[in-house]
Amino acid sequence: MVRLQEAVQADRRVKGVAKMTNHLPIVDSIMARLSQQGLDGYEVYMACSTGLTIEVKDGIIDVFVKSQNAGLSLRVLKEQKPAFAFSTDVSSKLVPDLIGQVVHGACATDPDPFVGFPAPRTKRPPQIDQFDQELIRISIEDKIDRARSLEATARSSDPRIKKVRKAAYVETTTTVTICNHMGLNLSYDKTLVSGSIMVVAEEGEHAEIGWDYGFSPFFDQLDMGLIGTTASRRAVSMLGARPVPSTRVSAVLPPWVASDVLKVLSASFMADNVQKGKSMLLGRTGEQVFSPPVTIVDDGLYRNGIASDPFDDEGCFHDRSVLVSQGIVQGFLYDQYTANKENRRSTGNAGRHEIKAPPSVQATNFYIRNGSLDPDELSSSLQEGLLVTDIIGMHTADPISGNFSVGAAGLWIKGGEIVFPVKRIAISGNLSDLFSNVDAVGNDLKFYGQFGAPSLRISTLNIAGLDA
């Protein structure tokens, strides 16, 4: 356990470094040195962040961690031979070794005609507000109170909530800088605060878990009360759950479930997967692959999105790409490398999983566009079916064939009313068929990380239950 006084003292010790340090001098120094190496192209990418994690248990601080991280990576090109190097130590004394390492690497690789760097644009980057100027001024006591209020709200929302396994407040402040030999020189700052909780509801011999998560770039826009009550409601709703016989019924996928399914589908929209023949959508541009209510968008400028930045991790401006319009596949997502392969422009979808990896194609804020129906209307429209509240193991789905078979739980609906909770079942099918069977879309779009969806009504879903 961490005492409040200790946490406040720790916060004061690091307060002087919580604001991002200006690392442009070291970037300028590296760029100057690279310009003297006889290279055909080069890039410096630098990311620095500070973080805070607070977890409470029974109103007492259980975890209090302040962090500060920085790293830089270099990409170079010599005679069309690419090389990459990185360091998590950004002190200037290591710069010569890092440059020597990457230049030597360029002499040892094979030429790749598609490697290149984006040229700077004549217009300014898109202007988006993802930075909370007040975050550093908010006291540590107020941030601890946020975590405590999350736990308290969850406990007080229903007497059957007996345990809180984790109530967390997390914040990060990040600065990214990218420069290359063509004159590109860009940087941005962003903040992100989030809350998450897991609770246990108990009644008699039954115990069920519920969770929720929320985030915002801005401290005052993070609704901890909603997160706490949602987690409690989910846990309580599953008390007394039982399996059902195997069947085929209509179903509703709420946003957190639909987002999980969409995450698997998103791999088929990455141009590198398409070019390698690892996409279920290969050769299907212009086809009606999904049902007309389904429109899928990737938007790197989405308001308050977790992946919203003015530009991607190569310096290409973020934009909005409509990938599926009313069920018809429109196109795919590209970084500079995959775009060069097809002699087209990057969609601004270069991302880096971490400083240790070169950029690759990644989604930004990837979502299904809202429909017009209230989510309660979707559920009440079912004569008999399942409101799927949880799926287990969606990551095991085959992203190429689209086939899946995963554990599930939910609420059984009859005559438009919830009659009992269900668990120990499995749902199976194919992603293409699943999204072809979407016959209605809700108006409750919500993001869980970078993937978001509204509620989806599915006309037919395979359920394996008691007799499976």
* pLDDT above 60 (res 376): yes
* pLDDT above 70 (res 90): yes
- 15 falls in which pLDDT band (50, 70, 90)? very low
* pLDDT above 90 (res 120): yes
pLDDT of residue 25: 86
C-alpha 82/C-alpha 459 separation (Å) is: 50
What is the overall mean pLDDT for the chain?
A: 94
User: What's the rounded mean pLDDT across residues 127-146?
Assistant: 96
Least confident of 13-22, 51-60, 309-318, 369-378: 13-22
- 16 falls in which pLDDT band (50, 70, 90)? very low
Neighbours of 68 (CB within 10 A): 14
Burial pattern 439-460, b for ≥16 Cβ within 10 A else e, equals bbbbebbebbebbbbbbbbbee
Please give the single-letter amino acid code of residue 206. H
**Tens of pLDDT, residues 171-228:** 999 999 999 999 999 999 999 999 999 999 999 999 999 999 999 999 999 999 999 9
pLDDT of residue 122: 84
User: What's the rounded mean pLDDT across residues 435-458?
Assistant: 98
Topology classification of domain 4-142+169-188: PmbA/TldD fold (3.30.2290)
pLDDT of residue 2: 58
pLDDT over 90 percentage in the chain: 89
* pLDDT above 60 (res 440): yes
pLDDT of residue 237: 98
pLDDT of residue 10: 46
C-alpha 457/C-alpha 254 separation (Å) is: 9
User: What's the rounded mean pLDDT across residues 84-107?
Assistant: 91
pLDDT of residue 24: 73
Domain ranges of the chain: 4-142+169-188, 241-468
What would the two tokens of residue 190 be?
């962003």
pLDDT of residue 3: 55
User: What's the rounded mean pLDDT across residues 155-169?
Assistant: 96
pLDDT of residue 124: 87
Please give the single-letter amino acid code of residue 238. M
Q: What is the DSSP string of 453-466?
A: E--EEEEEEEEE-T
pLDDT of residue 14: 39
**Tens of pLDDT, residues 308-336:** 999 999 999 999 999 999 999 999 999 99
- 125 falls in which pLDDT band (50, 70, 90)? confident
User: What's the rounded mean pLDDT across residues 86-91?
Assistant: 90
3-state secondary structure of 380: helix
User: What's the rounded mean pLDDT across residues 23-31?
Assistant: 87
Least confident of 82-96, 131-145, 184-198, 417-431: 82-96
Whole-structure pTM over 0.95, yes or no? no
**Tens of pLDDT, residues 220-274:** 999 999 999 999 999 999 999 999 999 999 999 999 999 999 999 999 999 999 9
Strands (E), 304-352: 320-325, 328-329, 350-351
* pLDDT above 70 (res 109): yes
* pLDDT above 50 (res 337): yes
- 6 falls in which pLDDT band (50, 70, 90)? low
pLDDT of residue 20: 39
26-32 contact pairs (CB < 8 A, 24+): 26/72, 26/90, 26/92, 26/95, 27/72, 27/177, 27/179, 29/92, 29/95, 30/72, 30/74, 30/95, 30/98, 30/99, 31/179, 31/181
User: What's the rounded mean pLDDT across residues 164-177?
Assistant: 96
Helices 4-18 and 140-156 pack at an angle, to 10 degrees, of 130
User: Are the beta carbons of 427 and 391 closer than 8 angstroms?
Assistant: yes
> What H or E segment, with its residue span, contains residue 368?
strand 366-368
